[in-house]
Amino acid sequence: MAIFLIVSALLSAQKVKFGAKAGLNVSTLTGDLGDTSSKAGFYGGVYTQIPISSSKFSFQPEILFSMQGAKEKDSYTMFIEHETIKANYKFNYINIPLMLQYEIIPGLRGEFGPQFGFIVTKKYDIDNYYYYNNILKEELHISGTAKNLKTFDFGLNVGANYELKNGVNFSARYNFGLTNLIDDSDYSVKNSVFSIGVGYTLK
């Protein structure tokens, strides 16, 4: 079925349109972590709209730069001693979504498809605070590269897109990662990203 859709898309290549998009990521990491919270980031890139024959389906491959990651906080208390650890994970990806879209009503499309991600930077900042009797006694700040993080990520996208007649469009999408990002580990950590954005399709 997938091969048929791609071949049909290529056969209607004379209707191909190109565009660009950018917007906001709200990302986090799920799995075997502490108390995680989401962080905001930018995404942007280009796409191609390829109609599939004369149906309401279309195929939209994209290439996007995406800022992702999460924040994590852990606390440990023993009698009058207390330790707080805060981590900020900053991962930048080149993502390639391959979206199958269906026009629900004129201008409004639902979409679903796989995404292939390739990490380009994988930084972290860790702040460690040690308190004794509620008095800060020591603090430690560490920055570095997450060397045990896999360079490839695979996930699935689901979302919607509304395009005006002038080519301006608005989109919302959720990506749930299926790849365990931690290399050679019994722990499981996966990407989770919600995105909203605006784009423009050349007519």
Alpha-carbon distance 21 to 168, whole Å?
10
The pLDDT score that the predictor gives to residue 165 is: 94
- The amino acid at residue 123 is K
- Answer yes or no: is 139 within a domain: no
φ and ψ of 11, to 5 deg? -70, -20
- Answer yes or no: is 98 within a domain: yes
The pLDDT score that the predictor gives to residue 146 is: 86
Alpha-carbon distance 132 to 130, whole Å?
7
- Answer yes or no: is 172 within a domain: yes
| Tens digit of pLDDT at every position of the chain (203 positions) | 555 555 555 554 558 999 999 999 999 999 887 788 999 999 999 999 999 977 899 999 999 999 999 998 888 788 888 888 889 999 999 999 999 999 999 999 999 999 999 999 999 999 888 888 887 778 888 899 988 899 999 999 999 999 999 999 999 999 999 999 998 778 889 999 999 999 999 98
Its sign, for the CA torsion 24, 99, 174, 115, is negative
Alpha-carbon distance 113 to 19, whole Å?
18
Q: Are 76 and 114 in contact (CB under 8 A)?
A: no
- Taking the mean position of all CA atoms in its chain, how far away is CA 26? 8
**Could you say which DSSP state residue 148 is in?**
T
C-alpha distances (whole Å) from 200 to each of 42, 64, 155, 162 are 17, 14, 25, 11
- Answer yes or no: is 109 within a domain: yes
- Answer yes or no: is 140 within a domain: no
3-state helix, strand, coil in the chain (%, to 5): 5, 75, 20
Indicate the SS3 state at residue 8: helix
Token pair belonging to 54: 């004369």
The pLDDT score that the predictor gives to residue 3 is: 52
| Domain boundaries, position 170 | 17-68+93-120+150-201
Based on the structure, what is the number of domains in the chain?
Answer: 1
- Answer yes or no: is 164 within a domain: yes
Alpha-carbon distance 148 to 159, whole Å?
31
Q: For the domain that residue 163 is a member of, what is the CATH number?
A: 2.40.160.20
pTM here? 0.87
Its sign, for the CA torsion 27, 29, 30, 34, is negative
- Answer yes or no: is 38 within a domain: yes
Alpha helices in 79-176 (DSSP H): none
- Answer yes or no: is 76 within a domain: no
